Structures are given as C-alpha cells and as structure tokens.
Structure 1
C-alpha cells in the first residue's frame, strides 16, 4: 500500500463501534445538557458582556450575542448530525477519520488536544487566582512561593492549587462517570442560580437611558463584538466526545448540543441586558464588570456570590474539558496513533483510566508551572479548524451509503447551511493574529512528525486487513 493510500485510508464506522464496545452508555439527555452548560458557561459570562460592550459594541452587545449564536448554531447543527450518525468516542477526530481519512483525522485531533488541554490548564490557573482572592477576604493567604506558576523574579515557583484542583477532578473522573456527572449537575445548577440571582436583583436597578445610544459604535460594532463573544460559546463541541457513552445517541446528542446552545444564549443575553442597563456601557471596561455593577447599586455582598459563581463555572468547565481530553486521547490510542495502552478501559468502572492519568499529568504541569497568557489564543485556532472540517464534512457524510442516519438529526437547508458554516469559521480564522498562526504551525508540524514517526506505523486501520 502506498504512503498516500495509507494516510487517506478511512476507518469504517462498524470498526469504531467494535473498538468502543467496553465503554458503558450511562449518560442521558439531562446529563448531556448539563455537561454542555458546564463547559460553555465559565467566568466569561461575568466578564465578556461588560468589556466587549465598553470597547466594541455598546448596549448592542445584546445583538452581538444573537449574531454569534446564529454562527455557532450552524456549527452546532453540523456536530449534531455527525454525533447522531456516528455515535463513537473521539468527537471531531473520529468523525474526520471516518469521513476524510486517517491523516485528516489526526490533524483535527492534534488541534483538539491543543484546545482541550490548554484551555483546562489556563482555567486551572484562573481558578487558583479566584480562590486565593476569595480566601484573602477571610484573611487566609497562600505562601507566595506556591501561589503561581514558575517565575523566580516574582518569587513564585509552582501553583499548588492549580495542580491540586486538576488532580482532584481527575480522581473524580477515574472513579465513575455517573458520579462525576452528578457533581457537574449540582455545580451547574449553583452557577445558573447565581446568574439568575444577579439578573433578578439587577433588573430593579435598570435605567433604560443607559441603553441610549444603543449602537454607539455603529452596525460594525455588532459584527466585531460578535467575533469576540463567539469564543464565549466554545465548549459545546466537547459534548460530541461523549457519543460513545450516551444512551440513544441518535436522539440524545442533537438535543444535548442544540439545547446547550439555546440555554447558554438566553443566559448571556439576560446578563448583557441587565448589566448595560445598570451601568453606562462606557464604565464597564474593568476586569470584573458584574462585581463593579453590583457595587454601583450598593449590592456589594452579592459580589461574594459572583465569586462563587465564577469558581463553580471554572470547576464545571474543567470537569468537562478533562473528561473530553481523556476520551480524545483514549480514541487516538484506540486507533494506534498513540500507544494503545492509553485506550485500556478499567473493568471496574468502565473508564479509560490511563488516558485520564496521562492528560492529568500534562495539564497539571502546564497549569502549575507554565505561564499560559500568550498561548491561550491557540485554543481558538484548534477549535475553528475542527469546526471548519465538521461543517464541510456534512457533504461527504450524506454521500456515504454505509452510514445510516435515516432516523437521526440532519442539518436543514443542506448543503447551503454547512457551506455557510464553513465560510463563517474560515472568516474567524482570518481574524486571528499572525503570532497565533505561527505558533499553531509549529504545533501542527510537531504533530505531523509524531504521526509519520510513530502513528502511521502503529495504525490499527492500516495494519488490519
């Protein structure tokens, strides 16, 4: 078999389903929606509506979220169809492998590894900073040497809290998927309750005059604002990684993905309406706009709740991203492109324990020791590349006679919506900085070296007759 034939060889859906037979289907629709909200709604809901309104869109931030939702919905529908048609673990990596071939699947998976692990490492550092700030309000101070990542010039060497929270979440995930989803459900409900408390308390202090002018930056501000808040929705795609553990995936996956997006949109818009109504948009360019707004209306004590909401938001995001990271590594190991030991399922509780330990070590190292400020934007590029392939991929998916999705979800207005979705993602990719692109190119070169140096030789697809 030639090299070109090997890298473009597609794995059949039936083989993926057989390889995933040890995964237990325990996740239902409610758990899936909670998982999605947990991944999407983080600290961003307490920050983005204020800062983007102040600098880019004004009160028109409300329309920016609506526009971003429309664009994101296109991608979400594509993911919903893929998840319905291909109920296998691995999200866009596995989908790409089936539809485009092994090399394309690997490139998508390598980009998702960057997205998932880097985002968790970044958030673990943020969670540590928030918790330390919260503890200081009670007079509890963490020793400086272990309070932040390695930076001897500032007297910090390791962020112990960032490491411990990642290890704790991984311990939960290695014990039982169902118990971790229950904890996630509780934390998500806490987070939603805090958001609703802010909206209900703040609505009595809204001054309609603060919404005038509604479009101080013009229509252009709405579009620019939508490109910024689009990234507030990133995370719904992690739902697709659980397709191998979901009950009735052809029905549950579409409801979970689209339901997540709708609920998150309502929450973002409500916060935006109340926030820009309480305080003039020009005053919201601060690091904590929601807390600032509460201080303006003399509800300072509620800011403690906002801190708890932020901690809960980051906690659920880490649970779902670590879960998704482990399933992605499991899937790549399952196919032989990484050591197959990473795909071993723990017989006691049907979880890929080794893949969880693997991602825990990497994430804990990055979150506890490495400064991630300049690398955070790489999360966006890995996500948008996957979104682009999933959007385009609907067209060859529909043409596959060996994949039956007659009873599952299908993207409406085919093929127009998938094409529009792909073009929207490509447009957003062009908005990323040159520095981000150059760093990403280095990352993907490393990925290709690993694939051609190890993966192609150990690929189960290429070694199976």
Structure 2
C-alpha cells in the first residue's frame, strides 16, 4: 500500500546520510562565508541599482535595500536553525522533507530551480554583456549576432550568445574538478570584487553631491515603466517596489546551506556563514546605493547610454572622470559575476543530489565521481542546460521568476522551522532563532508581500512551473520515492 505524500523523512535518515557521505569536508566557516558573499554580490548590485533608482525608489534606493535585507534576515535566521539540525545538502528542500512532508519538499526543490538554474542563466547573460562592454573598452568587438539571443535578435541570420555559452562551460569544468578547487577560485574572485565594492564606496563618497539626494524620498508620481506601461513610482510605494526589484541582488545566501555536507563543522559554521554573509552584503549594498545616487542624479540613469545596464561604471565616470577606475569597475564586475554563476550552479547540483538520494529524481544525479568526490554527471547535465538556455533565450522576466522561487522557498522555510519547534521540540539545535513566532510570521508576511509586487507575467509563469512540477512528481517522483517504498522504515524516529 502506498504511503501518504504528507509523510516526512525521519531525522535519523539525515543522520545516516551524513555518516555515509563520500563528499570531502573541506570548507571552513570563512570559506562558507565567502561562498555566501560570492553568491550575493554580483549582477544585482552592479546592474539593478540603476533600474531600481530610476524606475522605483530614487535616492531612497538605500531603504529598498534595507527592506529587502530585512526580509532576507528573517529567512536567514530560520535557515540557520535548520542548518544546525540538518547539516546535509539540499537546502530548503531537505528542511521541508523533514518537517512538512514529501510533496511540499518536492515543490520547494522544484521551486529552487527557479532560483538557482534560472538565476545562473540570468547571470550568464549579464556576464556576457559586461564582457562585451569590457572588450569594447580595449577596441575589440564581437559580432552582434554572437552576443544576442536568437529570440531578441532582429538582424538577419543566426544569433547565439557565445560568451554566455562559453562561460557556463568554463564554470562547469571548474565545478567538476572538485569543491576545494571551486571554493579556492571563488575565494579569490570574492576578494577582488569585494575590494572593488569598497573602493567604489570609499572613493565615491568624496564625489557625492548632496543635491542629488534631495529630496531623499521623491514624491509619488506616474512614469513610464521598464515595460513601456505607466507605473506609480517613488514615495513609500516606490521603496517597496524597489525592494522587489533589487531582491535578486540578495539571491544566493542560502547557497551556503547547500554546502553543509562539505563543511568541516556544519552545525556551527553554516549558521555563522549564512548570517555573516548576509549582514556584510546588506551593509555594503546600503553604502553603495547611497554613494551611487549621490554621485549621479537618479533621473539621469534612464536618459544616457549604459545608464541602466552599467550604472556603477557610468556614475563613476560622470562624477570622477577617472577612466582607469571605470575600466577597473567594468573588469571587476565581469570577473565578479563568474563567482555568482559558480555558486548558483554549485548549489543547484547539491539540491538535485539531495532529491536524487530520496528517489525523487533519477539516480544519475546522486552519483559521486570517485576521483573528484563531486557529482560530475549531475554538474555536467546542469551546465549543458544552463549554457543552452542562457545562450538562446531572453532572460529579463526570468529575473522576477528567480525572485519568485526564492521568496517562495524563504516563506516555506520560515513556516517549517516554526512548525518543527512545536512538533519536535526535543531535537538538538546548534542555533535557535530568537523570538521565532515573531520572526517566522514576519518572514512569511514580508516574502509574500514582495511576491505580490513582482511582475504579473513572472508570477503566472512561475505558477505554471510549479504546476508542471506537480505533474512530474506524480508521474515519477512519488512512484520512485525512497520514503514511499519503505526505504527509511528501519530508521523511523
């Protein structure tokens, strides 16, 4: 007789997974923190700041980052408690499986594809844009049909985003080589781009024109939005809309939790890295947005070339006239986006591996290469999919779909950790979320509110993706589930 789709995976099964894991435990708390920072600082801060300031918040963009950061803090505290109890790969998927049931876990795992894989596609296309801009600075040009996706291209002949395709394959190769090598690469890139962010904040502060920051919260008005339709912007509503727009800039801190099986001391280091990376990046974002809107009037971002696609470089160029600094910023953004792509693909492979171990995905996703001690086949499959889609598809709406998947997962984590505190209070917790009822409620409410402020089309597409996920679950996952077939019966708590 088939077991209920609401049954949870026993905690003892997670403990058994940890004991027999063949992944190398090579990541300390600062390497894990660097993974979090590497995922967070990237396309969001280097690209979305100009768009959010111009279309939504004005100089109050800093407050938009505060709102988005607070929403993440609520979820991060809940993630930290879960990670201290269940230090296994799988992130929110694994946490839901141990608390709210298999079908919810599947939906979260399926929803996380919106965050990691589609986020990786978005970053790959963003990297291609920065790479192309960097080449132009040195007098080199790539034909337009080789830096444009086939759908958006309006010229004659075949179009293919070659740089996006190549960078995904390069990152796939690095990840397949081993986690330690990938972490070392990431640490170096994080050091470079964090140094550049600090450079922008410190040097840019001397070029702030306080008239650009006045009024700090512009009056509410109607403007033509990014999709050519009238939108209400600025004022306090603009701050909230800006928070939804820049939320993509925070995506990735939960990637730390997907590395639990490779952490040296996961019960202590994972909570530390989750919270530390988020706090560090939130502080940097607030300072950088203040400097950016102080150096250049927010109304100018949408009226000059590259003002919306490369706002940091343009603001620095106009305010300081330092050509060398603009080149430094552009090169650093190009390099920095690689680490975001690396962490997102790393996180996705570990989530798929966790789902495959539970029988919800084919066994190929859980196979570990005996030499590299990494899921090489899993990584290659993900890399090929991301490379093909990123190189041939416009990604603008997928930014919002990516945010939907993340906010959905955050809400479920807040609910699950709250539920588990009451249903299994005896579990040992290395970290306890303070004032949990308040934090969980605030996290759920904030994340749902931000979802409601995303593009309508993105919400509908994301709901369609979740519906497809339900079909895949009942056609394959439920039938092959280890839990459904009694594989964990001898491990019941």
More displaced stretch, 54-63 vs 174-183:
54-63
Q: CA RMSD for the aligned pairs?
A: 1.9
Change (3 A) 1:184 1:273: same
Q: Which runs of 5+ in 2 are unaligned?
A: 220-234
Which residue number in structure 2 is paired with residue 16 of structure 1? 14
- Structure 1 residue 402 displacement after superposition: 8.2
**CA distance, structure 1, for counterparts of residue 277 and residue 338 of structure 2:** 17
Which residue number in structure 1 is paired with residue 375 of structure 2? 352
- Which of 257, 271, 281 is residue 298 of structure 2 equivalent to? 281
Change (3 A) 1:366 1:169: same
Instruction: Check if 1:262 corresponds to 2:274.
Output: no
Which residue number in structure 2 is paired with residue 94 of structure 1? 94
Instruction: Check if 1:158 corresponds to 2:160.
Output: yes
- Which of 249, 266, 269 is residue 249 of structure 1 equivalent to? 266
Which residue number in structure 2 is paired with residue 300 of structure 1? 323
> Within 5 Å, which residues of 2 pair with 1:298-377?
298-377=321-400
Which residue number in structure 1 is paired with residue 32 of structure 2? 32
Which residue number in structure 2 is paired with residue 167 of structure 1? 169
More displaced stretch, 384-393 vs 239-248:
239-248
**CA distance, structure 1, for counterparts of residue 396 and residue 215 of structure 2:** 34
Change (3 A) 1:49 1:410: same
Given that 1:40 and 1:236 are in contact with CA atoms closer than 8 Å, whether structure 2 keeps it comes out as yes
Given that 1:66 and 1:265 are in contact with CA atoms closer than 8 Å, whether structure 2 keeps it comes out as yes
CA deviations 1:317-344 (Å, max 9, x no partner) are: 0000010011111111111111112101
**CA distance, structure 1, for counterparts of residue 89 and residue 450 of structure 2:** 27
**CA distance, structure 1, for counterparts of residue 236 and residue 250 of structure 2:** 22
Instruction: Check if 1:271 corresponds to 2:288.
Output: yes
Given that 1:149 and 1:156 are in contact with CA atoms closer than 8 Å, whether structure 2 keeps it comes out as no
> Within 5 Å, which residues of 2 pair with 1:350-429?
350-401=373-424, 404-406=427-429, 408-429=430-451
> Within 5 Å, which residues of 2 pair with 1:136-155?
136-151=136-151, 153-154=154-155, 155=157
- Structure 1 residue 63 displacement after superposition: 2.4
Given that 1:85 and 1:403 are in contact with CA atoms closer than 8 Å, whether structure 2 keeps it comes out as no
- Structure 1 residue 202 displacement after superposition: 1.6
CA deviations 1:246-289 (Å, max 9, x no partner) are: 12112111110110111101211121222222223332333122
Which residue number in structure 2 is paired with residue 228 of structure 1? 245
**CA distance, structure 2, for counterparts of residue 432 and residue 128 of structure 1:** 25
SS at match of 2:484: helix
**CA distance, structure 1, for counterparts of residue 362 and residue 425 of structure 2:** 29
Which residue number in structure 2 is paired with residue 460 of structure 1? 482
More displaced stretch, 104-113 vs 212-221:
212-221
Runs of 4+ in structure 1 over 4 Å off:
none
- Structure 1 residue 400 displacement after superposition: 4.2
Given that 2:43 and 2:126 are in contact with CA atoms closer than 8 Å, whether structure 1 keeps it comes out as no
**CA distance, structure 1, for counterparts of residue 396 and residue 286 of structure 2:** 28
Change (3 A) 1:279 1:125: closer
More displaced stretch, 241-250 vs 255-264:
241-250
More displaced stretch, 210-219 vs 172-181:
210-219
- Structure 1 residue 442 displacement after superposition: 2.1
Given that 1:7 and 1:456 are in contact with CA atoms closer than 8 Å, whether structure 2 keeps it comes out as yes
Given that 1:163 and 1:365 are in contact with CA atoms closer than 8 Å, whether structure 2 keeps it comes out as yes
More displaced stretch, 159-168 vs 140-149:
140-149
Q: What is the TM-score normalised by the length of structure 1?
A: 0.94
Instruction: Check if 1:66 corresponds to 2:63.
Output: no
More displaced stretch, 224-233 vs 350-359:
224-233
More displaced stretch, 186-195 vs 423-432:
423-432
Q: What is the TM-score normalised by the length of structure 2?
A: 0.89
Count of equivalent residues: 462
